[in-house]
Amino acid sequence: MELTRIAGGDPDCREDDCPTVYTTDRGSIAVQGFTVDRPTPDGEAVVEIPEAVLREAFHALGW
Most distant CA atoms of the chain, gap in Å = 33
- Assessment of whether the complete model's pTM goes beyond 0.85: no
Give buried/exposed letters for 31-49 (b at 16+ CB in 10 A, else e).
bbbeeeeeeeeeeeeeeeb
**C-alpha–C-alpha distance, residues 42 and 10, integer Å:** 30
In the sheet where 29-32 sits, what is the strand order? Answer: 3-8, 20-24, 29-32
Q: In the prediction, which pLDDT does 10 show?
A: 72
**C-alpha–C-alpha distance, residues 7 and 55, integer Å:** 9
Q: In the prediction, which pLDDT does 50 show?
A: 93
